[in-house]
């Protein structure tokens, strides 16, 4: 029997498999301590906890959905010891119930809901199973056990796909569960080549969703190395939008990931989009506020050939940059170092009529404001200060009857 047939069979619910209302009510009311006690008292052949809702969800599906509100507050520094690990075995009663349920009844890992999601699919964007905690290691251990006992399970949970055809690895990468992703690849290296409905490999997903935080920079670089080590040909695969991983990273501004790819394969700079015929520099949105663009363009052996490529509209990279709002100075210097004649539009791009770059206006606003205030103060002080002062008795200017004052004072105001 093929895996697709098995997957359909798993989602089919008979009358005897339907979850009792009492069990669902306890979960709906979030009585996790009560359910955890019942779970520990249940026998290994007890069918109560492996029953399912009419649309395929089991008790762990229900519990995981509740994690966003119940376990998020549990993750704070007060719950960690000096080694950065949890002081307690689990971060919450809810997490303990989820992990112990999966551990006691491994078949729950293989159940899918109406959207094809296993409990672990749902857990990827929930605040549970954090690295360093007991729950995380327990899940990794029983997934390893499932692999060892593969013949006892209809389909390993890491091979299952949801209605978007995302595997657990796709979701782990999307939600930055990189440590969990490494364990999944160790369990089944073929996962790196799986594609979803958008024809995206996990590397495409990394290029789309990664590189938004320096916290994950090192891990994302390691993930690039792992993907290329497992299947180097995936750097040439096009997704449903006509992007290779490198082109996708360039379009999304993930230049650090793009740089990691170029370190492995410098010729990726020659790749073109399937529909628009654009190269990476047609797609890159250079941001002068960070140095990612500088590190990207200063790669060794950077060739000037891509800058001369035309897209489907007949525009070269230089033509596109000429219309940009602000081309970073570092990039202009790089182009000049390649003996490329910069169009006037690039040199003048992003400048006000006074020659100040738009990106620098905020920096100049403070000093210019102070100078303007001082000049205004000096001007009005000179205009309203009467030479000779005032008569203390009657309050009129002492020199009010002098012809020189009558002639010069109106002119000073003008």
Torsion of CA 296, 300, 305, 311, to 10 degrees: -20
Q: What is the pLDDT of residue 274?
A: 87
Find out whether 257 and 206 touch, Cβ atoms under 8 Å.
yes
Q: What is the pLDDT of residue 9?
A: 36
Q: What is the pLDDT of residue 244?
A: 95
For 20, which DSSP code? P
Find out whether 62 and 103 touch, Cβ atoms under 8 Å.
no
Find out whether 413 and 383 touch, Cβ atoms under 8 Å.
yes
CA distances from 242 to 245, 273, 399 (A): 10, 6, 84
> Measured in Å, how far apart are the chain's first and last C-alpha atoms?
97
Q: What is the pLDDT of residue 188?
A: 93
**What H or E segment, with its residue span, contains residue 73?**
none
pLDDT tens across the length of the chain (414 residues): 344 433 333 445 555 567 778 888 888 888 999 999 999 998 878 888 888 888 889 999 999 988 764 333 333 444 455 555 555 567 788 888 998 998 888 888 888 898 999 999 998 888 787 777 778 888 888 888 888 877 677 778 888 899 999 999 999 999 889 999 999 999 999 999 999 999 999 999 999 998 766 778 889 999 999 999 999 999 999 999 999 999 999 888 888 898 899 889 888 888 888 888 887 777 776 554 555 555 665 554 555 565 566 666 666 655 655 555 555 555 566 666 654 555 544 455 555 545 555 556 666 677 778 888 888 887 777 666 666 666 667 767 666 666 666 665 555 555
Domain boundaries, the chain: 1-163, 373-413
Q: What is the pLDDT of residue 69?
A: 41
Q: What is the pLDDT of residue 399?
A: 62
Q: What is the pLDDT of residue 2?
A: 40
């Amino acid at each position: 029997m093929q895996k697709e047939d098995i997957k359909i069979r798993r989602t089919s619910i008979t009358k005897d498999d339907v979850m009792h209302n009492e069990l669902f009510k306890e979960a709906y009311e979030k009585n996790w301590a009560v359910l955890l006690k019942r779970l520990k008292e249940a026998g290994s052949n007890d069918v109560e906890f492996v029953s399912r809702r009419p649309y395929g969800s089991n008790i762990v599906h229900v519990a995981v959905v509740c994690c966003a509100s119940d376990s998020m507050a549990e993750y704070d520094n007060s719950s960690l010891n000096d080694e950065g690990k949890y002081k307690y075995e689990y971060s919450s009663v809810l997490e303990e119930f989820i992990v112990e349920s999966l551990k006691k009844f491994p078949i729950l890992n293989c159940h899918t809901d109406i959207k094809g999601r296993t409990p672990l699919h749902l857990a990827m964007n929930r605040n549970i199973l954090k690295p360093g905690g007991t729950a995380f290691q327990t899940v990794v251990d029983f997934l390893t056990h499932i692999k060892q006992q593969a013949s006892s399970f209809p389909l390993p949970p890491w091979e299952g796909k949801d209605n978007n055809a995302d595997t657990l690895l796709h979701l782990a990468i999307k939600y930055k569960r990189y440590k969990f992703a490494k364990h999944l690849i160790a369990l089944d290296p073929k996962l790196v080549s799986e594609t979803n409905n958008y024809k995206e490999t996990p590397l495409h997903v990394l290029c789309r969703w990664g590189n938004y935080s320096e916290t994950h920079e090192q891990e994302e670089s390691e993930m690039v190395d792992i993907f290329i080590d497992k299947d180097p040909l995936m750097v040439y695969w096009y997704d449903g939008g006509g992007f290779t991983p490198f082109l996708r990273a360039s379009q999304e501004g993930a230049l650090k990931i793009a740089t990691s790819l170029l370190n492995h394969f410098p010729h990726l700079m020659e790749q073109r989009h399937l529909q628009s015929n654009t190269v990476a520099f047609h797609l890159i949105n250079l941001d002068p506020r960070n140095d990612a663009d500088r590190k990207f363009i200063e790669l060794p052996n950077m060739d000037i050939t891509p800058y001369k490529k035309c897209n489907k509209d007949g525009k070269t990279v230089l033509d596109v940059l000429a219309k940009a709002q602000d081309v970073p100075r570092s990039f202009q210097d790089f182009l000049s170092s390649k003996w490329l004649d910069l169009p006037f539009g690039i040199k003048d791009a992003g400048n006000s009529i006074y020659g100040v770059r738009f990106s620098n206006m905020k920096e100049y606003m403070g000093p210019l404001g102070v100078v303007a205030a001082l000049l205004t103060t000096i001007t009005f002080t000179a205009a309203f200060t009467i030479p000779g002062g005032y008569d203390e008795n009657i309050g009129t200017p002492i020199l009010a009857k002098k012809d020189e004052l009558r002639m010069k004072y109106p002119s000073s105001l003008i």
